[in-house]
Chain A
Amino acid sequence: MAPRETTMDNATTVGHVAHGHAHDEPHEELGFWRKYIFSLDHKVIGIQYAITGLLFLLFGFCLMMLMRYQLAYPGSPIPLIGGLFSPDKAPGGIMLPEFYNQLGAMHGTIMVFLGVVPLAVGGFGNFVMPLQIGAPDMAFPKLNMLSYWVYFMGGMTMLSSFFVPAGAANSGWTSYPPLSDIATMGQTIWLFGMVFLITSSLLGSVNFIVTIVQLRAKGLSFMRMPFFVWAQLVTAFLLLLAFPPLEAAGVLQLMDRLAGTSFFLPSGLVISGRPLEVAGGGNPLLWQHLFWFLAHPEVYVLVLPAMGIVSEVIANNTRKPLWGYRALVYSVIFLGFMSFVVWAHHMFMTGMGTAMSAFFQTTTMIISIPSVVILTALLLSLWGASIRFTTPMLFALAFLPMFGIGGLTGLPLGLAPPDIHLHDTYYVIAHFHYVVAPGTIFALFAGIYYWFPKATGRKMNDLLGQIHFWGSFICINSVFLPMFIQGLGGMNRRLYDGGMIYTHNAGLLKWNVMIAFAAWGLGLFQIPFIINFFASIKWGTVVDRNPWEATTLEWSAPSPPGHGNFLTEPIVYRGPYEYSVPGAAADFTPQFEPEKA
């Protein structure tokens, strides 16, 4: 059957019955372009997302390594590569403040919107989720392909902004007006890039929700779904409902920049000693509300898939059921709801009023409860287990305390009074990086090591994996722990020389040298990962369907699964984590194993 007709335009299919028969027919061999580039297969699209996301993570990290050199040695020329930059960025290799601002804005944008989300949702969600629910593909394969290519165009748009006059966006990844309204051309490109990315995630999230609701295999009730699928479901809802307000905000800012409106420009604004020639009457806080209405749920978009991955890896390597599966599910749903009503805790310092602050600090304290429930359940899952310390498990185990540090250090920021002191300092940087970098990115690495055998049919090398893990673990903590000290001392973020003119920074700036070396070390320790990744595709140990002796549905498909995923129609007989069932033959009873009569 020709693949074009297999996707949507077939009115004669009746559910899985037809799907089971389809495998008797020979598959038409697709050409290179249809198979690897413009593929409709969720696995190929997932891998496309993952590789693009990883490349953007690397690129965003390189921007950070440059910034770290500037902070460690302000005003001295960048060694080795300093000569590569044009004079309007780094004349004589010495970084200009404007260029530092561009790097800062683009680091944040690239890491969040082009790196972590595409890898966590587009990559893992696309590849793993349909397999885990026993679906032959996503519900709308063409939309799926479109969403990848729109994301790709958004990424290229963002990258191109480095080459326009006066460089890329430089108003921070938050793009606060009025600054962003009057910023250089790069900001306009940034907004167009964001419109692409938002459209892509809209297409993706509709597809994810429909797939999870509609294409679950026979017997897979909602309460039998692996926790990873639950996490993806809630994430998709957050993307679906939180991103449109940012799209609206982006349109308004584009109007401000291109059509001369003043949505975010108040009356009587004076810039560089001259009054701004606009109608006025706008409200800069409006942008912040619309932005954080997206960007707070976005935090959970970054975190929930990571929690999902960690749950799968922990259940598999402790050889025990997850502790409190139902509590995890209810918590993740509650977390999703609450994430829509906490956004203004990013705005305690804007003068929006104490009543608003009181409301949002209360909701913020409430939302910490389900997060703690999830973390506690995962921690208790380790209790009394005979743990297999595989490479993915090391990353998953490291996620728990590091995400914990990120979460707990967020509590003082969620309360308005301490936030007055901590706001906009390196404490904030350390806090959210602990959530996203040692937290989420470690979980993503766990996921890569865990599902690599499913995607390629080969295992990644354990020794290189261990080097990668321990090196990254030590370096990443050396990067972010000192920032708590700097932040508590009052050192502000976003200053291109770290804030040398302030006397209170005198004893704090010395940490920047150590942080810089730790950051470069972190970069070096990614080399074993990159080698491992490519070498294992060719030379890794060949594995069968279920190398980890896991219970969920993806392990019943061949490694790698062919087009259509399963050889026979998958049927689910039990919950997702039936490990070490008393009286069972093995210490794992897969979801797809029929009951014995």
Chain B
Amino acid sequence: MNIPYTVEERPDTGLANGKLGIWLFLASEVMLFGALFSTYIILRIGAVEWPHGELSVRLGMINTFVLIGSSVTMVMAWASLKLHDFAKHRLYLLATFVLSGIFLVNKYFEYADHLARGEGPSHSTFLAIYFTLTGLHGLHIIGGMVVMAYFLGPGARMWKKYPEQFTNRIEYTGLYWHFVDLVWIFLFPVLYLL
């Protein structure tokens, strides 16, 4: 028994199963982060005062560029596969992996700085939502890194036997990765600038 349309597109819908699946998953992710952003709005509207300048804009800015860079390398990793250049693909995917690692290290310094000053999540509502939003986003980064590590390691074997399906998988990973990036693009102004 074979499941149809795992690789090729269904003619009348124009989709392969995995692509529809990842978009639906991202729709639910939008609802997840949407609920948390709504929480931020409601807490901020209800607050007597809302802290400004608590976070390092410099570090946040660096992380923004790091993540945007990683999105670019992610696209290149997929495009290289489309051009059948597997060596280049690995290089770009590794670059994406390293960039996401840099993001997390940066984030670690920010967290450590806050916690060293005794400003944990329980300190104020602002820090509570800050730690929750960035923490959940960080978990998504880690999740993406696990998937990338898989495709750099054992998952890469698929390229030899089923290049088309492997390319699709990298594309879906990329879609997820761009979403994670996009969440940060919203998080940065909301938490660091506004």
Contacts and interface: CB of A to CB of B under 8 A. Distances in A.
A271 interface: no
Contacts, number: 170
Classify chain A: how many residues form its interface, as a range: 35 or more
A290 interface: yes
Nearest to A208: B24
B28 A213 contact: no
A241 B28 contact: yes
A139 interface: yes
Contact of B3 (A137, A241, A243): A137
A11 B35 contact: no
A261 B128 contact: yes
Given A9-B158, A140-B17, A214-B15, A281 B46 contact: yes
B122 A214 contact: no
A255 interface: yes
Contacts of B21: 139-140, 206-207, 210
Interface string A258-287: 011111000000000000001111110010
Given A13-B4, A16-B4, A282 B35 contact: no
A136 B39 contact: no
A7 B21 CA distance: 15
Contact of B42 (A6, A10, A18, A283): A283
Contacts of B125: 261-263, 279-282
A488 interface: no
Contacts of A138: 3
A291 to B, nearest CB: 11
B42 A244 contact: no
Interface stretch (B66-74, B91-99, B161-169): B161-169
Contacts of B5: 15, 139, 214-215
Interface string A130-142: 0000001111110
A282 B132 CA distance: 14
A468 B35 CA distance: 44
Contacts of A242: 31
B28 A244 contact: yes
B162 A9 contact: yes
Contacts of A290: 35, 39
B1 A6 contact: yes
A137 B39 contact: no
Taking each of B1, B4, B17, B29, which has the highest tally of chain A beta carbons within 10 Å of its own beta carbon? B1
Given A213-B20, A278-B122, A248 B35 contact: yes
Given A260-B121, A279-B123, A564 B1 contact: yes
Nearest to A18: B2
Contacts of B65: none
A293 B35 contact: yes
A175 to B, nearest CB: 16
Nearest to A139: B17
B28 A240 contact: yes
Given A11-B164, A13-B2, A202-B28, 11 more contacts: A13-B3, A15-B5, A210-B17, A210-B24, A214-B5, A251-B132, A262-B125, A263-B43, A279-B122, A281-B48, A283-B42
- What are the 7 A-B residue pairs with the smallest beta carbon separation, nearest first? A260-B122, A564-B1, A261-B128, A11-B162, A245-B35, A244-B32, A248-B35
19 contacts: A9-B162, A9-B165, A13-B7, A15-B10, A18-B4, A19-B2, A19-B4, A137-B1, A240-B24, A244-B35, A248-B36, A260-B120, A260-B121, A261-B125, A263-B132, A279-B128, A281-B124, A281-B125, A293-B35
